[in-house]
Amino acid sequence: MKVIFMILSILILGTINLSAQENGAIYRHELPTILVDSKSSLHIISPEPIRYVDIATHQVIGDLPEPRILRLKFTGDSSFTESFSPTDLGLVTVVGESFIAQYNLSFIDNGLSKRTIASYEILPQHTKPIALGTEVTTAELHRHALALLSKRKPAPIRKSSNYGMHAQLGGIYTIGDLVLLDISFYNNTNLSYDIDELRFKIEDKKIIKATNVQSIEIKPIWQLYPHNTFKKQFRNIYVLKKTTFPDNKILHIELSEKQISGRTLTLQVKYKDILKADTF
């Protein structure tokens, strides 16, 4: 009789698990558990920028000190510290650009905090992919940008010179709804160039009066390298959201130096240049 009961139990559990898998369900007991204590912060490290976080308990607060780091801190009352066994705090959910990861949070203290960890890395086996449609992830942008830098430099699409400086737009590429600009700067002087910022603006081709100037600034959503000081050459990839503008306007790119009387360089890109962009 006991054997029959065991067989029936196994069959029932197998049916439940199979049904859960078919429905895409994930049970909490299948998720990894992370222990937190009252004496230290926990840092969860993501392989890509974090877009959304949900913490199921008010006993834990969180913030994003860096785009790829989630910092958690236990703020519960003293009653939690009276227990020597782990206390369930619910789930923490982390959503990146292409995945979702979930973990059980448990509190433990009273001398057992050595069992807790200071940082936790999100591993591929702990993630589930999420549909992105045509959206491009940061990892994909980084890979494409490095591929562009490895290419042999073609003839520049646009170029300009000023103050012993030289600017070149080496290429325009599109991926999804994004435009990638390959821009190089050359310094022919003996004075190093300390970059302040690079601004992208849509402006009128012909300016009749200063009061009639219409300028729309476009902020890059991503760039391969941060701006710094360069002595002879600086090349970077900038990513803009796809935009359209009429023939009587241009995309004005301006590089400025940090000094008050710093040198500036400008590039003027026509809309037809963007229409001829290569694709990945």
* Mean pLDDT of all residues in 168-184: 92
Look at residue 259 in the predicted model and tell me its pLDDT: 77
**Rounded to whole angstroms, how far apart are CA atoms 183 and 227?**
13
Q: Which span out of 161-165, 241-245, 258-262 was modeled with the highest average pLDDT? A: 161-165
Share of the chain above pLDDT 70, in %: 80
Statement: residue 85 has pLDDT above 70:
no
What is the three-class DSSP state of 252? strand
State both tokens at 244: 């359209």
DSSP 46: P
**How much is the mean pLDDT over the chain?**
83
Give the mean model confidence (pLDDT) for residues 244-268. Answer: 86
Question: Around 165, how many Cα atoms within 13 Å sit in the side-chain half-sphere?
Answer: 24
Whole-prediction pTM: 0.68
Percent of the chain with pLDDT over 90: 49
Section 10-31 average pLDDT: 62
Within 10 Å of residue 104's Cβ, how many Cβ atoms? 19
Mean pLDDT of 176-191: 92
Closest by alpha carbon to 203, among 256, 158, 246, 167? 246
Of the pLDDT bands very low, low, confident and very high (cuts 50, 70, 90), residue 87 is confident
Query: pLDDT tens across 96-109, in order?
Result: 988 999 999 988 87
Supply 202's token pair: 């849509």
Quote the DSSP letter at residue 117.
-
The DSSP-derived string for 1-20 is: -HHHHHHHHHHHHHHHHHHH
- pLDDT value of residue 151: 83
Region 246-260: what's the mean pLDDT? 87
Q: What is the pLDDT of residues 197-239, one digit of tens each?
A: 999 999 887 664 555 566 889 999 999 999 989 999 999 999 9
DSSP the chain: -HHHHHHHHHHHHHHHHHHHHHTT---GGGS-EEEE-SSS-EEEEPSS---EEEES-TTEEEEEEETTEEEEEE---GGGGG-SS-EEEEEEEEE-SSEEEEEEEEE--TT-GGGS-SEEE--GGGEEE---TT---HHHHHHHHHHHHHSPP---SEEEEETTEEEEEEEEEEETTEEEEEEEEEE-SSS-EEEEEEEEEEEESS-S-GGG--EEEE--SEESS---EESSEEEEEEEEE-----TTEEEEEEEEESSTT--EEEEEE-HHHHHT-EE-
Residues 136-159, mean pLDDT to the nearest whole number: 88
* C-alpha pair distances (Å), 256 with each of 187, 207, 238, 259: 13, 21, 16, 9
Confidence of residue 244 (pLDDT cuts 50, 70, 90): confident
Q: Which domains does the chain have, with CATH numbers?
A: 27-129 (2.60.40), 138-279 (2.60.40)
Q: Confidence class of residue 2 from pLDDT cuts 50, 70 and 90?
A: very low
Lowest mean pLDDT: which of 9-13, 21-25, 88-92, 213-217? 9-13
